[in-house]
Amino acid sequence: MKSILKDKNNSEKLLNMTSDTLILMDRDGVCVDIAIHNVELWFLKEEKLLGKNLLAMLPPRTYGEFYPEFKKVLLHRTKSVRNYELNLRNETYFFKCIMQPYGDLILCQYRDITERSQQKLELERNNRELYEIQKAALIGSWQYESDTRTFSYAGHTDIMCTEEPQDINIDIYLQHVLPEDRETFNNWLEQNLQGDMENSVDYRILYQKQIFYIRLKAFTRERHKDGTTTMEGYIQNITDIQRRRNDINLLTHAINNSTEDIYSAREDGTLIFANRCFKERHNISNTDDITQMKIYDLQSYGRNQKAWAEFAASVKRGEFSQGYVVHNPLPLRPEVLAIEGNSYWVTSDEGIGTVWTFGRDVTQRIRQEQEIKQLNQVLDKIIENLPASVVVKDVKNGFKYLYRNRESYNRDITMQEALGKDDYDFYGSGIAEEKRKQDIEIATTGQEMHWVAEERDGNGNPLFLDKREMKIESNDFPPILLSIEWDITDMELMRRELMVAKEKAETSDQLKSAFLANMSHEIRTPLNAIVGFSRIIAESENTEERKEYYNIVEANNERLLQLINEILDLSKIEAGIVEFSIAAVRLHPLCKEIHDAHVFRCPSGVELIFDPSDEDILIDSDKNRIFQVISNLIGNAFKFTTKGSISYGYHREGETIVFHVTDTGTGIAPEKIGKVFERFVKANNFAQGTGLGLAICKTIIERLGGTISVTSELEKGTTFIFTLPAKTTKDEDKEKTENSPEEDKPAAGKQSAGSESTEKVQVSSQENISLKTVLIAEDTDSNYILTKAILSKEYHLERAKDGMEAVNMFVEINPDIILMDMKMPNLGGLDATRIIRELSPDVPIVALTAFAYDHDRKAALDAGCNDFLTKPFTQEVLKETIKKWVNK
């Protein structure tokens, strides 16, 4: 089909339909040509404009805006797009003008936007009017999000609201709401969230020590797919309206918030008033007109019409003003056991009599009374059979017994025998006199006495008695003395055993906590180097630099794996023991590793310096522990140093190696210098850390046969010094291994040039041989890519992303060996292994998983796995394991 839009014969028609009016002006503003499109204006006519200087025809204000743009387009050959206002014959027009160079002329596209601009002005005027109305009416808008429980509001209420939206959590906002109004607010909010947006809510808030009245009304509610709800509405400050109400309204508000049922009804039963409590109890809505209701017609009310008439007549006679109790008053609410109330007859100025009733739900009190009666009976039986001495004496009657349970450690007598007697009837004069003296002291001072007496029984065994004596006073009865004596021998012996066990447990817990903190520090230090140098390796293009960084990463990988193995050793964790691996250690490469691992963590403005130190020093010690101690001290310095430097190094003094870590930080207060190596002690409570770091350092250094100390000066810096024995090994082979420069060591997982060459020959020789197929069941892409990078040159690889897919692919491709991850979606590795074992008992299956405990290994082998490898793994171990099972 021929293009209509590109047909030159249609150009004029299309221009008339779609184009703006086009005006071509020379450099002086004279109209040299004009094409009028889509406009019918009296001043925009060809005969009026053609050959005329249009600049001279523009009103001054329009000329002042138009001419600078005209000159800019003319001189700089740029395009101009602006809106202009044009006042002609007391009429205002608006137009958009697009000016652009056209050879030596200026082409202007004129587009009339008068109607749109007037609509915009009208909208702005309406918005200003609405704005003023909102200010005058103290109205704002609000929005509530149920998922975040956020209450957003803006507007002109003059209370918390501003023109900019404010956000507040609904729980915080409720703190401003007066306590007696919070339940009302919450009920209203819940009803609106459920979709009942019929009613508004009025409540009070306390803000800036003033009480304000607020009204909320919701007008939109949106329920989202995730179950959350968004509501919007208006908020109004009605404080002035409320304050103009009379005292009756204030009294009504107080009555409405009463916890009592308050209602008023005429003699014929017509309700004329009911407070909120009464309405809620009888399921009356706030929108219901109670004046159209008869109280005896309420299903929840316990009286019929005849009973109400009798009740109203009794109230009229004044029979219930002193109070009454109605049991089971609400048929529909059996949980209300009783209502206690008062009723009054009130005659209005018009001579109309009404019944006013104030009722209180006394269900809780009745239940408490029942519980007290039941408890008294239980206590009587408990005390009667209690294996302790319980004695009550009458202070005003010569301290004679009012109660003495029948089983007593003092004397086995019945209560009936003890009543009316005193201590002189049961004890010798000496003991009785001592007890009487004690009774008088307690009765006089009113102070309770409590003590534990350690005695011996008849067999000479220890006997512990917990004794307590007190004075009980009341306005309802004369003062009495209560004595209680418990045999706590078993309890005391157990307590002493528990104290010993507690001390052991606390010691164990402290050791465990110290160990965990130690491990956390050790893990994060090499991890920092791994993360940092891995990114640098990815960005570096220098082969030597990449090799150097790779060696650093590999060294830290080995350290990290070693630490993880220690963490997984539960016996060490439970015992709080970390083994020390003593070997020959060359200090200079070690300190260089520390620098590489920490230089990226150095705070801005602070330099990490490895001071020149003897490169030939070799000692027998634990390399990882020395790394840990220096790293810990450097990490401590990072926390307290914001400028200057942190330097470290070592030197030999006789048979001792002296290490130092010096910073230019804030220093340590003199009173804390002596405590910094204690557990959980921190020089600065605002700095991060558990306070175990220096204690762990001290423990490590002392275990390695050295000492550690600190000197510091506030605002100048701190120096930690520790020493280690300079003893070296005589094992030349071991020394040669440990002392070889780090850069000469092949990194873990790499092969020597010779081994690489051999591998290439082997691969080459197998090019014409069919590769063995390895099925890798792995749901994590990065783990699969790693395994593929290691094995793809020697084996044909297939991947299953979950256990179910692994089972299906096993049936389809019949692999030579399966590498099975344990934790996968849809079907786990253990279940997949069991299914495959039912299909084939021979195919080798190797568990390749991050689960590393012994019970994980046992579960994998029980499910049918032939071998068990844990992540992370090395190339050599993975290749050797696959080769072993494939060859079998």
CATH number assigned to the domain comprising residue 171: 3.30.450.20
Query: Are 476 and 406 within one domain?
Result: yes
CB atoms within 10 A of CB 257: 16
For 536, phi then psi, to 5°, come to -65, -40
Note whether 693 and 544 are same-domain residues: yes
Parent domain of 226: 138-243
Task: Taking each helix axis as running N to C, give the angle between helix 623-640 and helix 587-598, from 0 to 180 degrees, rounded to the nearest 10.
Answer: 40
Token pair belonging to 307: 């009973």
- Asked if 564 and 473 sit in the same domain, the reply is no
The burial class, CB within 10 Å (0-12 / 13-18 / 19+), for 880 is exposed
Residue 662 lies in a domain: yes
At 99, the pLDDT band (50, 70, 90 cuts) reads very high
Whether residues 451 and 411 share a domain: the answer is: yes
Determine the distance from the C-alpha atom of residue 171 to the mean position of all C-alpha atoms in its chain, rounded to a whole number: 16
For 419-474, what is each residue's pLDDT tens digit? 788 888 877 788 888 889 989 999 999 888 888 888 776 677 888 888 889 999 88
Question: Would you say residue 144 lies in a domain?
Answer: yes
In this structure, what are the phi and psi dihedrals at residue 593, rounded to the nearest 5 degrees?
-60, -40
Residues 476 and 509 grouped into a single domain: no
In a domain, 377, yes or no: no
Based on the fold, state whether residues 698 and 774 are members of the same structural domain. Answer: no
pTM over 0.75: no
Q: What are 30's two structure tokens?
A: 């004279």
Token output for 733: 């082979």
Domain-located, residue 132: no
Q: Write the CA distances from 629 to 385, 594, 613, 637, integer angstroms.
A: 64, 11, 18, 12
Q: Are residues 216 and 264 in the same domain?
A: no
**Is the same domain home to 536 and 631?**
yes
Q: What is the pLDDT of residues 651-665, one digit of tens each?
A: 999 999 999 999 999
Residue at 750 is within a domain:
no
Helix (H) or strand (E) holding 656: strand 656-663
Residue 750 has pLDDT above 80, yes or no: no
Boundary residue ending a domain (184, 216, 243): 243
333: in domain: yes
Average pLDDT over residues 311-317: 89
Peptide bond into 670 cis (omega under 30): no
With a CB cutoff of 8 Å and minimum separation 6, the contacts of 418 are: 401, 403, 404
Contacts 24+ apart (CB under 8 A), 238-241: 238/138, 238/202, 238/213, 238/214, 239/159, 239/211, 239/212, 239/213, 240/138, 241/213
**Average pLDDT for residues 178-206, to the nearest whole number?**
91
Give the largest Cα separation in the chain, rounded.
Answer: 142
pLDDT at 290 over 60: yes
User: Average of pLDDT values for 640-649?
Assistant: 93
Do 544 and 679 belong together in one domain?
Answer: yes
Last residue of a domain, one of 208, 243, 278: 243
| CA pair distance 842, 879, nearest whole angstrom | 20
Chain-centroid distance, C-alpha 423: 64
Tell me the DSSP string of 790-859. Answer: HHTTTSEEEEESSHHHHHHHHHHH--SEEEE-SS-SSS-HHHHHHHHHHH-SSS-EEEEES--SHHHHHH
Rounded Cα distance between 194 and 187, Å, is 11
Does residue 377 surpass a pLDDT of 50?
A: yes
Domain end position, chosen among 363, 395, 415: 363
Say if residue 557 is in the same domain as residue 678: yes
Strands 656-663 and 717-725: antiparallel
**Confidence at residue 696, expressed as pLDDT on a 0 to 100 scale:** 75
Instruction: Say if 253 falls within a structural domain.
Output: no
Radius of gyration over alpha carbons of the chain, in Å? 47
Look up residue 705 and give its DSSP letter: T
In a domain, 677, yes or no: yes
Task: Please report where in the chains the tokens 């609410």 appear, as a residue.
Answer: 333
Phi-psi region of 565 (alpha: psi -120 to 50; beta: other; left: phi over 0): alpha
Look-up of token digits 């070690």: 590
For tokens 């998983």, what's the residue?
849
CATH code, domain carrying 543: 3.30.565.10
Does position 408 have pLDDT exceeding 70, yes or no? Answer: no
Binned at pLDDT 50, 70 and 90, residue 242 comes out as confident
- Residues 528 and 447 grouped into a single domain: no
Which band of pLDDT confidence, cut at 50, 70 and 90, is reported for residue 759? Answer: very low
- Based on the fold, state whether residues 450 and 524 are members of the same structural domain: no
* Better-predicted residue by pLDDT, 831 or 522: 831
What does the block give as tokens for 421? Answer: 């007697």
**Region 625-631: what's the mean pLDDT?**
89
Q: What is the domain count for the chain? A: 6
**Cα–Cα distance list, 605 to 630, 666, 701, 833 (Å):** 21, 15, 31, 56
